[in-house]
Amino acid sequence: MTLLKHHDPQTAWAVVQGRSKPDEVVSAMLRVEGLVTLLRHRATQDLQDQIERRCIKAGIKITIFGDENYPRALVADLAPPAVLFYFGDLSALNSRRVGMVGTRSATASGRYLASHIAHDLAINDVCVVSGLARGIDAWAHRGALRALESRAIERGAGRLADRPVGRLAVRAAGRPVGVVASGLDVVYPRENAQLWQDIARHGALVSESAPGSPPDAFRFPLRNRILAALSEVLVVVESRDTGGSMITVDEAQKRDVTVLAVPGSPRNIASNGTNQLIQQGCLPIIGAQDVLVALGLDNRRAQENIYDPRVRLSTSDQNLVSMMIGSPFTLDDFVIRSCLATIDAAVSLGRLEALGWVVENSGWWEVIEVRQPLH
Amino acid sequence: MFASVRSATLLGVRGSRVDVEVHAGIGLPGFTVVGQPDEVCRESRDRVRAALLSSELPWPTRRITVNLAPSGDRKSGACLDLAIAVGLLAAQGLLPVEILSQYAFIAELGLDGSLRPVRGATPLVLATIDRQTIVALENLAEANAATVTQVFSAKTLLEVVECLSGRTEWRKEILQKTLIKKSKFVPDLADVQGQPVARQALEISAAGSHHLLLVGPPGAGKTMLAERLVGLLPSLDDNQAISATMIHSSVQTEFRNSGLIRDAPYRAPHHSSSMVAMVGGGTALMRPGEISLASHGVLFLDELGEFAPSVLDALRQPLEQRVVHLARARTSVVMPAEFLLVAATNPCPCGEGTPGACTCDDAARARYLRRFSGPLLDRFDLRVAVSRPNTTDLISPIAGESTSVVAARVAKARSLAFSRFGGTNSALTRQQLDSAAPLTKKAEQLLRKELEAGHLTGRGYHRVRRVARTIADLTGAPQMIDETHLHLALLLRVDLASGLRRREMSF
């Protein structure tokens, strides 16, 4: 614990292993035997007490490297965390694991895809690991939770929210795991508070930082390394060319974790990073099925079970929709690309919106992408 | 000795009659001006004295009292100079007192005895409409255009004296009423490439006088579009022209284009403008603000979010009543404010707005949107998202129509609207709407659905119908309003906050 206070977790780990030397303050303390014992005792005791009090108060559990329930995926890692704080049940990690990352400012279709891919993975008993940030992360978790819910409803167990903390869904579907940067009692971003609770209840919420740690900028890259280490396959849904998701991709590549990317329109800034990844040779995916194949869970021949409640479109409407798929567009774009008069374009757009094929967002329109091919 | 001379002073955009009474009596030589003159007015003593001496006219060595009747009202400005000088000469018996009752005098005097132009020549001359009025040469054109009575001009005080005493004739060119009108350069709509929706919105806005809000990233051409709206408006009719000329005349001494203002004015005040600059007031003159100057034309507010909230909220009352009523402790004036409001704003703090390209979080967006009060946003009938035209749009097959083509359609639609209730479609009352804009069955269903879904408020419901009326007029459907018109009207009402509300996805 003292070590953690003076070093970042990686160095702390090195010191424990004897591979690295403690810094001057700590080594000076180590030299004076009596003092060291006393200080060490008191310092560790104080800090330990403090952390323990916080953990007990918040119901946070602790696992240390070497413990029985310490995630096995991390044992052989390049930079395993010395200690992990967690909510929920770490056995969620015992199934197949897919990491999902992406930009915080996602487009509507990015959010839609993230939640759908996560949902389909969870239905196939895959554990979705993500960072619980805004945007793609949060929507991936929402998708995974929805899968748990729909499975539970199939079994007559009711909605998640109505159920007490329980294990009704244990074998029903893959449970979501959130890896966060701040202490587990510091919810960040605040808007995800409910999601935070749901994941802690029905999956596991993991952090390397001690309770009370604020969401400092340096913690996020460290968090990304754990996320990459926990994933067997990493899916990037939407990412710009720089940012947290690309750091996670780097970490995954260091660990030989397969990286898959969802392609986007080259006109869509939010897909710049993923498109670059694909350019560099990363496998493009268009749905959860491709991820399952990458995991070796090939059930392409199994019966597909997709339900799209929307009314099938007329041929001309289908043409309009396929013309606008890709990036958000304005009414201007629509008029120009469809070569319709403004008034006719307005009527078409109004009809498509009423049918649920496009959605408006402060003057920007997006096609809600279909889960089946258009033809 | 006593003389009374007619003149006028300016208050707001109107002139008010002033009788300058000059009394030269026995006593210690001196000169007092009474009747609530302001600083500029009081200084006229020195100007008049120098002008008289320069013109080799005598300055009386007597006790002189000048009274500006009615003495209860505050007078300001230098437009009384000439009247005081003439009064002084008449009081000394150098001019026949009886012929002064046919004339009024409105001009400032230079120290060399020359006549200088004054602000507000049009309203001032209209205040002395029952007499022949003498103004400076520079003011002649605008004074002449506004009134039916004879207006004379002179270059110097000496010339005025000569003419009044009958020794010479008034200048000849004064009677010549035809004036060469230099039309202002108005940018053409054909310069706008692509952006068909924004163009359509301009057309609808001009045809129905619907207030327009352009939402888009920097560089999308919002300012360019707004500048072109004024060219689509028809030229002003006689009443509007006189009203506009009166307003503009009261803030500037000379018109460049001389004569009446026939083109719709365009005003684009910077976002640092104060409340007084916007609505008027300030000095004792009650200067008209930008909203009055934009009367019968376009008021363009770029970067709407950067204006002080108090300034924006001050626009709400004039927007509804079409006049601005300014009350001060001493005076109160009513000034016209019949403007078409066009505003431009970025969609969010980073300016991008495109989902995916925008770097703002929800809290920052919400904070930004809070700057525009809901009631103000609600007054924009048309809210249009404008995006940057890209290369493909620039070479798109849709060629831009020029201002003259669109203006012809606008004029047709406007005359249709005027033939119904004698006003533009945006001025239709709720009662008039039912007879002027009947809905087809399908259109009614569409509106009901929108209302039930909560996309429309009660106020929005009527506004959409007015806009749909204009769209129908433009597309040559003067009777019923069907769902196509309504669809477009609904799409041209972008809800800025919808992105914040619609975050849930359908599974």
CATH code at position A159: 3.40.50.450
**What are the φ and ψ backbone dihedral angles of A269, each rounded to 5 degrees?**
-60, -35
Q: Which residue has the higher pLDDT, B301 or A30?
A: B301
The residue with tokens 């300014």 is: B326
Which of A105, A139, A363 lies closest to B215 in CB terms? Answer: A363
Which of B347, B389, B488 lies closest to A362 in CB terms? Answer: B347
Cross-chain Cβ contact B361/A134 below 8 Å? yes
Amino acid identity at A17? Q
Contact A119, A147 (CB under 8 A): yes
3-state secondary structure of B201: helix
Cross-chain Cβ contact A350/B490 below 8 Å? yes
Of A297, A331, A350, the domain-final residue = A297
- Summarised one tens digit per residue, pLDDT across range B84-129 is 999 999 998 888 888 888 999 999 999 999 999 898 888 898 888 8
Residue A97 in domain: yes
Same domain, A238 and A131: yes
Q: Give the span between the Cα atoms of A124 and A360, in whole angstroms.
A: 32
**Residues in chain B closer than 8 A to A111 (CB atoms):** 505
* Res. B478: pLDDT tops 70: yes
Same domain, A169 and A108: yes
Question: Considering its fold, how many domains does chain A have in total?
Answer: 3
Same domain, A131 and A171: yes
Contact B377, B460 (CB under 8 A): no
Same domain, A136 and A281: yes
Identify the pLDDT of residue A204.
92
**Residues in chain A closer than 8 A to B497 (CB atoms):** 362
Residue A307 in domain: no
Same domain, A346 and A265: no
Calculate the CA dihedral of residues B386, B391, B393, B395 and round it to 10 degrees.
150
* Res. B450: pLDDT tops 70: yes
Nearest CA in chain A to B216: A363
Identify the pLDDT of residue A164.
47
Q: Is A269 on the interface with B (CB under 8 A)?
A: yes
Q: Which residue has the higher pLDDT, A26 or A109?
A: A109
Same domain, A211 and A270: yes
Tell me the CATH number at A339.
Answer: 1.10.10.10
Contact A162, A138 (CB under 8 A): no
Residue B440 DSSP code: P
Residue A346 in domain: yes
Report how many Cβ contacts below 8 Å link chain A to chain B.
132
CA distance A64 to chain B (A): 36
**Residues in chain A closer than 8 A to B392 (CB atoms):** 336
pTM: 0.68
Give the pLDDT band (50/70/90) at residue A168: very low
Full residue range of the structural domain in which residue A127 is found: 90-297
Q: Is B83 on the interface with A (CB under 8 A)?
A: no
Which of A110, A342, A364 lies closest to B197 in CB terms? Answer: A342
Q: How far is CA A147 from CA A96, A112, A173, A236, A254, in A?
A: 16, 14, 7, 20, 31
Cβ neighbour number for residue A310 with a 10 Å cutoff: 11
Q: Which residue has the higher pLDDT, B485 or B191?
A: B485
Q: How far is CA B362 from CA A190, A252, B300, B331, B354, in A?
A: 12, 30, 28, 48, 14
Residue A56 in domain: no
Contact B401, B190 (CB under 8 A): yes
**Residues in chain A closer than 8 A to B358 (CB atoms):** 105
Complex ipTM over 0.90? no
* Best to test chain A binding among B192, B212, B222, B354 (most A CBs inside 10 Å): B354
Q: Is B391 on the interface with A (CB under 8 A)?
A: no
Q: Is A270 on the interface with B (CB under 8 A)?
A: yes
Same domain, A259 and A343: no
Identify the pLDDT of residue A49.
77
Q: Give the span between the Cα atoms of B399 and B178, in whole angstroms.
A: 40
Q: How far is CA B84 from CA A245, A267, B90, B130, B179, in A?
A: 82, 74, 10, 20, 31
Residue A117 in domain: yes
Of A268, A297, A326, the domain-final residue = A297
Cross-chain Cβ contact A336/B362 below 8 Å? no
Residues 302-341 of A with CB under 8 A from B: 327-328, 330-333, 335-336, 339
Residue A72 in domain: no
Q: Is the bond preceding residue B70 a cis peptide, omega within 30 degrees?
A: yes
Amino acid identity at B147? T
A190-199, A300-309, B47-56, B149-158: range with lowest mean pLDDT: A300-309
Of A228, A6, A195, A203, the residue nearest A99 (C-alpha): A228
* Res. B183: pLDDT tops 60: no
Calculate the CA dihedral of residues B383, B389, B392, B395 and round it to 10 degrees.
100
Same domain, A292 and A166: yes
3-state secondary structure of B431: helix
Same domain, A138 and A181: yes
- The whole-chain average pLDDT of chain A stands at 81
Stated as kind and residue range, the H or E segment containing A367 is strand A364-367
Identify the pLDDT of residue A370.
55
* Res. B176: pLDDT tops 80: no
Residue A374 in domain: no
Q: Give the span between the Cα atoms of A98 and A96, in whole angstroms.
A: 7
Same domain, A218 and A291: yes
Residue A66 in domain: no
Amino acid identity at B78? A
Same domain, A161 and A117: yes
Q: Which residue has the higher pLDDT, B26 or A169?
A: B26
Q: What is the mean pLDDT of residues A27-32?
A: 58
User: Pairing state of beta strands B323-327 and B298-301?
Assistant: unpaired
Same domain, A150 and A272: yes
Contacts of A141 (CB under 8 A, 6+ apart): A118, A128, A130, A132, A176, A178, A195, A199
